[in-house]
Structure 1
Amino acid sequence: MTKAIKNVAVIGATGALGEVLIPALLQADFEVTCITRPGSQKSLPAGVHVRCSDYSNVEALTKALGGQDAVVEAFNPAAASYQTNILQAALAAGVGHIITPDFSGNTFHPNAKDALIFGPKLTAQRELERVVAESNGSLLWTAIITGPWYDWTIERGIFWVSKEGRTITRYGSGDQKCSISRRALNGEALVAVLSNPERYQNRAAYFASHTVSTNHLIALIEDLGLEGWETVDVPFDGFAEKARALWREDTEKGVEDRLNSRAYAALSTVALLDEDNIYGSNFEEKVESGWDEGESALKDSLKRLLA
C-alpha cells in the first residue's frame, strides 16, 4: 500500500502556479515546505516552511528535501533542465512521490514532440522515466494535465478571448474543442492526487473545468448580452508552417526566452486549436470523473471575467 502523504515540498512556489497550489495544500492541512532560490525576495503565505537551495546544488537540494513525502515541481518550464538534480536529491532524501512540471498542455500525447513548445517538459519526462526505472519502485510520480488556464490568460490578454479588445479570435472553423481550466483547479487537482496517491501513481492524470470550442465560447458571450464584441476570423491554412518558421528563426538567432516569443504564442495556438486535434488538446475523454464544471459555471465565469 502506498504511504500516505503529509509533508509536501514545492519547488517554484512563488510563480503563477505556486500562487494557487500552496493555498490549496494549506487548506487541505498538508505541511508545506517551499524551496526557494538564494536571494529570492518574494513573499510566501503564512503557515509554510521555507528552505533555500540552488537547483544546481544536489547536496543542498537533498538537505532541503529532507523529511518530505512528496515534491511538487511548479517551476517555469525553462527550469526543467534541473530535473536530473532534483530527482537525484529527491531519491537521496527519501522522497516517495514526484509531481512533474506539467499543469498545462497534453505533454503525454504521442505528437507532443512535434508541437515544439514542450521540449523542456519532454526532456524532464525522459529523465524521470530513467530515474524511476532505476529506483526499484521507491520513487512514484504523477503528471497533472489541466490544459490552458482560461481565467488567468484572459486576465493577461493572452487568450483568444480578449477583454481589452472585446474580440474573440476564431482560428479556422472554430469547431475544434479544447480542454481548459480555471487556474485554481491546479491546486484542487494537486490536493486530490496527494490525498489518494495510489489512485494516480505513475501516470498522467487529466483534469479540466470545461472542454469547449471557440464557436461555443462565441455563443456563450452572445448569450451574456455583452455589447461591442466582435469575432475576428483567422485562416488556419498555412498558420502552422508560419509558426514553425518563426521558431526556426529564433533557434538560428539563439533566442533563450522562448516562453515570451511570437513563435511560442503561435505554436501554442496550433497545439491547442488544430482542427484535427493532433496534439490532444481536447482530452475530454481522459478527464477524471466528476471534474467537468458544466456550461453554467463557464458562463458565470466569463461574465465575471469580461464584464
Structure 2
Amino acid sequence: MSPIVNVSVLGASGNLGECIVPALLKSGFVVTVIIRPGSRGYTPPKNDSTDSKAVTIKEAAYDDVSGLTAALQGQDALVEAFNPAASVHQRTIVRAALAAGIEHLITNEFGMDTFNPNVAEAPIGKPKALAQRALEEELQAAAANDKPVSLTWTGIITGVWYDWTIRTGLFWMNPTTRTITRYGSGNQRTSLSRLALTGEAVVAVLRNPEHFRNRPAYIASHTVSTNELIALVNEISESPEKSWNVVDIPDMEAFMTEGMRLWDEDTKNGVEDRLNSQAWVTIVIATLFDEKNRFGTDLEEKLEPGWDEGREKLKDHLKQLIIEADS
C-alpha cells in the first residue's frame, strides 16, 4: 500500500472531528471535509500548528452513493467521525468508498468495545455493531463478484473520553461540585482516554495501516477504577475543605433497568438524537461500571503497546481539569 496522504473526514464538526482534523493537518495529511447538504457548514481549525487553508470542503449526502463517490475521488483514506445515528448509512458509505478506490477506512468507533460479544445487550452499541456487519458484508460481496477490493479498515476503541466527561459533568466526576459518583463497588476498572488521543490514534493508524489492517485497535490513556480516581483527586486536593464528596449508587442492575426504560420511552416518542438523551447517558454508565466487565470496558489486556500514559500524567491532567473548573 502506498503511503496515505489524502484523507476525507465525515462528521468533522462534532467533538471527534474537532480533534481529528487538527491532528491530521498537524501531521501533514491533506484533509477533505465532507458535509451534508443543509448542514451548518464547517469552519476549519485555526491555530499556529495547522493551516486551515489546507482543508477542502465538499458536500454529499450519506445516503447518496454517486454523490459520495464523486466527493471521495482522489482520496486515500476515509475517517468516520459522525454521530452514531449516521451509522445507518454505512452500507452506502462503504459502496462509495469501494467505487472511489479508498484504501483505508477508519470506522465510527472511538468509544465502547463494539466488538465485545455482549454489546447487543446495550442498545447504545447496536448502531455501530450493525455498521460493522454492513461493512464486512459489503467487502465480502465485492470480493464474491470478482471485483478488486483494496479497501481495508480499522476500528479504534478508546474507552470513555474522561476529560470531555469531566468538563461536561457527565458520568461520574463533577469538579464544579467536587462530587464523584461511585457506581457499584467502585472497583470495576475502566479504560479512559483524553479526547485528543483519538486524533493521535487516527494519525498512528493512517501512518501504518497494514499493521492495523481489518481489525479493532484498542488505544487508551489509562485504566483505573473509581476508587483509584477518588484516591487521586483527594491527593490533589490542597486542604480538607477541598476534599471530594462521594455519592454511592450501589445497585447497577437497577440502574441499567432504568436506562432501558428510558430508552424504550424515547423509542415510543420517536427520539432520534439518542446521543444527547438521558437514556444514552444512563446506559453508558451502566456498561462502564458493570461489575463483571461484561461489556469489556476494562481494555487493559487488549491495549496496543506504548499508549498507557501512567498514573502521574493522569494525576496532572486531573489537577488541570479541576483548576479549569475552579477558574
TM-score of the superposition, structure 1-length normalised?
Answer: 0.96
1:177 to 169, 183, 189: 189
Residue deviations 1:28-61 (CA, integer Å, cap 9, x gap): 1111111112243331130211111122221111
Secondary structure at the counterpart of residue 181 of structure 2 = strand
1:191 to 193, 200, 203: 203
TM-score of the superposition, structure 2-length normalised?
Answer: 0.91
1:210 to 219, 222, 228: 222
Secondary structure at the counterpart of residue 176 of structure 2 = coil
1:102 to 104, 109, 112: 109
1:228 Cα deviation after fit: 4.3
The residue type paired with residue 8 of structure 1 is V
Task: Quote the Cα distance in structure 1 between the aligned partners of 2:258 and 2:237.
Answer: 36
C-alpha root-mean-square deviation of aligned residues, in Å?
1.2
Task: Quote the Cα distance in structure 1 between the aligned partners of 2:304 and 2:67.
Answer: 37
1:142 matched to 2:154: yes
1:277 matched to 2:293: yes
Indicate the residue corresponding to 2:24 in structure 1: 25
Residues 1-307 of structure 1: pairs in structure 2 closer than 5 A: 2-39=1-38, 40-45=40-45, 46=52, 47-136=54-143, 137-226=149-238, 227-237=242-252, 238-307=254-323
Task: Quote the Cα distance in structure 2 between the aligned partners of 1:19 and 1:95.
Answer: 22
Instruction: Check whether the contact 2:35–2:42 (CA below 8 A) recurs between aligned residues.
Output: no
Task: Quote the Cα distance in structure 1 between the aligned partners of 2:235 and 2:95.
Answer: 53
Residue deviations 1:218-263 (CA, integer Å, cap 9, x gap): 0000101250421111112522222222222222333222222222
How many equivalent residue pairs?
Answer: 306
Instruction: Check whether the contact 2:237–2:243 (CA below 8 A) recurs between aligned residues.
Output: no
Secondary structure at the counterpart of residue 308 of structure 2 = coil
Instruction: Check whether the contact 1:150–1:159 (CA below 8 A) recurs between aligned residues.
Output: no
Instruction: Check whether the contact 2:113–2:297 (CA below 8 A) recurs between aligned residues.
Output: yes
Structure 1: 4+ residue segments shifted above 6 A: none
Secondary structure at the counterpart of residue 135 of structure 1 = helix
Range with bigger deviation, 88-97 or 37-46: 37-46
Q: Give the gaps of 5 or more residues in structure 1.
A: none
1:159 Cα deviation after fit: 3.2
Task: Quote the Cα distance in structure 1 between the aligned partners of 2:271 and 2:16.
Answer: 24
1:179 Cα deviation after fit: 0.3
Range with bigger deviation, 61-70 or 126-135: 126-135
Q: Give the gaps of 5 or more residues in structure 2.
A: 46-51, 144-148
Instruction: Check whether the contact 1:35–1:64 (CA below 8 A) recurs between aligned residues.
Output: yes
Indicate the residue corresponding to 2:49 in structure 1: none
Residue deviations 1:130-186 (CA, integer Å, cap 9, x gap): 012123342110000001110011111113110122100001110000000000000
Identity of aligned residues (%): 53
